[in-house]
Amino acid sequence: MIPELGQFSLILAFCLCVILATLPLLGASRNNLLWMSLARPLSAGIFVFLAISIGILAYSFAVNDFSVQFVANHSNLLLPTRYKLTAVWGGHEGSFLLWTFMLSGWMLAVSVYSMSMPIDFVARVLSVLGILCCTYILYMLATSNPFDRVVPLAPADGVELNSFLQDFAFILHPPALYMGYVGFSVVFAFAVAALLSGRLDAAWARWCRPWANAAWAILTMGIALGSWWAYYELGWGGWWGWDPVENPPLITWLLGTALIHSLAVTEKRGVFKSWNVMLAILAFGGSLLGTFIARSGLLTSVHAFATDPARGIFILAIFALAIGGSLLLFALRAPLLKSEFGFGLLSREIFLLGNNMILVVASASVLLGTLFPIVYQALTGGLISIGPPYFNVIFVPLMALLVLLLGVGPICRWKKTSTGYLVAQLSRVALASVVLGVLLPLVILLEFSFAATIATSLAVWISLTMMKDLANKTANKPTRLQGLKSLSLGYYGMQTAHLGVAVMLIGASMSSAFDSEKSVLLSSGQSIDLGEYVFVFDGTTRIEGPNYIGDEASIQVLKNGEFERILNPQSRIYITSGSPSTEMAIDAGFLRDLFITLGEAKEGGAWSMTIYIKPFMRWVWLGSIFMALGGIIATRDKRYRRLRRRQEELLAEDLRANLQPAL
């Protein structure tokens, strides 16, 4: 009975969505204030019913209701409660419900934080989101209902949740990733609303920016969590694998990065208007493409959900409707959105244009690499696979170029900058970056690597140009502190995120240039040297978890002969499914990670194990945290709030003016 309530609630949400998808949109075009004002309460209603729905699914997991097919397939009696609850997104149906619930959350947020915008615009935005929500719920009800029952006989126990998913990071990664992904549908809705209303100006960019920043920041965290999870759970010592399902979030992220930069240009200078709309559509397209690839079984991947062609067709239809439709709308309406201002050949606009070009090319090449196997198979019937080498060859140089521009852009002035000014500002900084880039890796790691030198130079370049810019911007104030106080949160957000790029650059390049690994077979009491560390194997003990059994090794780590700590990697067998799993032991440090995976027991009590040392590994995620933080700081900028007050007055006038014809 309870699960049926969940389904009923889903159907009610669908009904509200149908109204939201139509009436406010019609109201906006006919200037009917009543219909437009329905958008906000309807969004709240949809949120409530989807919350009930997902709550009931979680409840079904909590009480082990194995008569629900989805619960029986993803949970069992032995599963710890926290994983029972997160098993809600452990499979296709439930994760799609989470996805839709996230969308309704964003809709609610838009309806609450949109008081500064004209009602017709809000109505259009929410209506477009309503259309999306409507198709998602329809998709669930038609092909992937999480509340389907097992009839007539419910199993006494369910099957094992994939052991990879029984992990802390899995509690966070999918919700964060989905929230970021879905956040781009808000930006998309803004773009479509702009096309529909023909209103695309600096004010539009200002309304749009906090949403784009927020979605981008959350997506950054979602991707970073995923890579962290892969790093410590999958046990192959890597953090990014260019997997077909990993790539679309990256495409979305790259396009989203381009978008937040081009929105800045539009807000400040009124140019790149229709380009924003294009980017918003494409970034959202990337997120739908990701959904399609993960859920249709189009490409084989570690992330693949169950494969059923009907599901693929349905998502493809949503994809074609949303993206094809909006691109068509763009083609018809974009000529109305002309930019009026020009800019010089050497100006901040140009550098941001360069940023956009590089990011778009990068995302296009990732897309190409992801889909090329299908193109090839469709054209020739042959089979190929595209591996990391392709992606690294294309992606790494593009990012290096981007970082080079990143240093100049903020120093450069809007509209027009003289070459002499740039040279004066940057020549010493450039020299210092190269010198430090060569010296730092040598001093810290006592090794030379070309890649590390380039990466360090670029990271120093980012940091020094940033300091130079800060120095310039605070120079005119009586004290530096006053100068720092006078800078906007938007500026600080930008610099924080840029610093994140530098930090991540160091992490990514050092951990791949200087990592060392060794696979060994050790008996109790034996030891192995790697770098400046000695690892002593002290044997294993049997362990018993709630739903697994296994062995835990005890390994002493000695650095330069002195005891540092003990690491305990595990090898587990999950009882219900019998599937083996290894739990890495990681000693995470600011300058290096030690990482041990326990393999198999051999005859005579020897164990195979692999030991990795990865310098600066943490910096990859530290950098992501800085980037995300930068995005969030920028959304808190005062000018969005100031604007709100001014707009409220305008809104009041607007309402009075609007009410007249209605009366």
Partner 1 sequence: MSRLKLFVPVIGFFALALLLWRGLYLNTRELPSVLIDKPLPQFEIETVLGSQLVTNQDLPDKIFLLNVWGSYCLPCLVEHPTLMRLSEAGEIPVVGVNYRDRQKLAIDWLDVNGNPFSFSLLDEDGRLGIDLGVYGAPETFLIDRNGVIRYRHVSVLDENIWREIFEPAIAELRAEQVGL
- Return the range that interacts with partner 1 (CB under 8 A); candidates 17-25, 183-191, 406-414, 573-581: 573-581
- Residue with smaller CB distance to partner 1, 383 or 446: 383
Q: Give the Cα separation of 13 and 141 in Å (integer).
A: 11
Q: Is 373 in the site for partner 1 (CB under 8 A)?
A: yes
475 binds partner 1 (CB under 8 A): no
- Interaction between residue 577 and partner 1 (CB under 8 A): yes
Q: If binding is defined by CB under 8 A, does position 579 make contact with partner 1? A: yes
Interaction between residue 339 and partner 1 (CB under 8 A):
no
Q: Does 292 participate in binding partner 1 (rule CB under 8 A)?
A: yes
Q: How far is the CB of 378 from partner 1 (least distance, A)?
A: 5
Task: Verify binding: residue 330, partner 1, rule CB under 8 A.
Answer: yes
Closer residue to partner 1, CB minimum distance, 474 or 608: 608
- Nearest CB to partner 1, comparing residues 257 and 582: 582
Asked if 516 is part of the footprint of partner 1 (rule: CB under 8 A), the reply reads no
Instruction: Report the distance separating Cα 407 and Cα 66, nearest Å.
Output: 57
Q: Whole-angstrom Cα distance, residue 469 to residue 442?
A: 28
Binding flag, residue 549, partner 1 (CB under 8 A)? no
If DSSP states are collapsed to H, E and C, what string results for 596-624?
EEEEEECHHHCEEEEEEEEECCHHHHHHH
Residue in this structure with the two tokens 């838009």, named with its chain if needed: 110
> Rounded to the nearest whole angstrom, what is the least distance from the CB of residue 235 to partner 1 in the complex?
10
Q: CA nearest 498: which of 331, 614, 597, 634? A: 634
Using CB under 8 A as the binding rule, the residues of this chain from 153 to 172 that contact partner 1 are: none
Cα distance between residue 410 and residue 501, in whole Å? 14
Instruction: Note whether 265 and 272 are within 8 A (CB).
Output: yes
- Cα separation, 536 vs 553, in Å, equals 11
Q: How far is the CB of 481 from partner 1 (least distance, A)?
A: 49
State both tokens at 277.
């709309």
377 binds partner 1 (CB under 8 A): yes
Site string for partner 1, 518-537 (x = CB under 8 A): -x------------------
| Count of residues that interact with partner 1, criterion CB under 8 A | 43
Residue whose C-alpha is closest to residue 181's, from 132, 127, 124, 241 = 132
**In this structure, are residues 558 and 564 in contact, taking their beta carbons and an 8 Å threshold?**
yes
**48 versus 528: smaller Cβ distance to partner 1:** 528
Closest distance of CB 428 from partner 1, Å: 44
Give the one residue of 72, 298, 406, 508 binding partner 1; rule: CB under 8 A.
298
The interface region with partner 1, picked from 35-43, 289-297, 465-473, 538-546 by CB under 8 A, is 289-297
Closer Cβ to partner 1, 19 or 282, answer by number: 282
Residues forming a β-bridge with 573: 549, 580
Residues contacting 152, CB < 8 A, separation 6+: none
Cβ atoms 501, 620 nearer than 8 A: no
* 3-state secondary structure at position 552: strand
- The residue from 601, 606, 651, 655 that contacts partner 1 (CB under 8 A) is 601
Q: Which is nearer to partner 1, 330 or 640 (CB)?
A: 330
Stretch (H or E) spanning 548: strand 548-559
Of 8-16, 327-335, 586-594, 621-629: span binding partner 1 (CB under 8 A): 327-335
- 323 counts as binding partner 1 under rule CB under 8 A: yes
| Beta-bridge mates of residue 548 | 574
Determine the Cα–Cα distance for residues 102 and 111; give it in Å rounded to an integer: 14
Give least dist CB 602 to partner 1, A. Answer: 8
Nearest to 43 by CA among 118, 107, 116, 123: 107
**CA distances, 596 to each of 328, 336, 365, 581, 619 (Å):** 53, 60, 35, 14, 19
In the set 354, 545, 589, 599, which binds partner 1 (CB under 8 A)? Answer: 599
Residue 451 CB, nearest approach to partner 1 (Å) = 24
> Does 309 sit near partner 1 (CB under 8 A)?
yes
Which region among 187-195, 214-222, 312-320, 644-652 touches partner 1 (by CB under 8 A)? Answer: 312-320
Cβ neighbors of 530 (< 8 A, separation 6 or more) are 516, 518, 611, 613
Min dist. Cβ of residue 363 to partner 1 (A)? 13
Do 169 and 225 form a contact (C-beta atoms < 8 A)? yes
Residues that bind partner 1 (CB under 8 A): 278, 285, 292, 296-300, 309, 312-313, 316, 319-320, 323-324, 327-328, 330-331, 334-335, 371, 373-375, 377-378, 382-385, 387, 519, 577-580, 599-602, 608
